[in-house]
Structure 1
């Protein structure tokens, strides 16, 4: 959780959560750690989206090999895009994909 990419990802995901606040988009964080350990981390890294704790089984089910790992899933549950790692263009990339899905 303390890796720089995860911390940069939180800021980006918070911006996306704000941007899509009143639209049919849900940002969800999944952390493999338990609630107590995660909450200590979140004191200095507040989230603007819901979080699932003890998400190791979810991570395993979706074959997320690393953190951060992102999925864009359409309303029918189909994975549209999966991305491993954070980059400076992640927010723009995700926004373009989500906006396209919202138009459909």
Structure 2
């Protein structure tokens, strides 16, 4: 959530000042948004799985759900930080290339 808030604030400030910044940041911002949404969903799934386990359900599905959620949190979610860093580099590196280069 913090990365999404930080990215949103950066985009509001820097995208308004230079629309190229908004365009250059768009893909990374959407990645952060998606990772945040998935983190929320994984939290909901983990809560539901843990409730079933606590209620005595022994179906291995629920243990596997918790393990998969932990994988997401430890191995996928940290990508939000790299997307935030890339976002904040702005558009200069992209806009310095001549149009003929494409």
| TM > 0.5 fold call | no
TM-score normalised by the chain length of structure 2? 0.33
Which structure is richer in relative contact order (CA contacts within 8 A, separation 6 or more)? 2
More strand by share: 1
TM-score normalised to structure 1 length: 0.33
* Pair member with larger Rg: 2
Between Structure 1 and Structure 2, the one with more helix by share is: 2
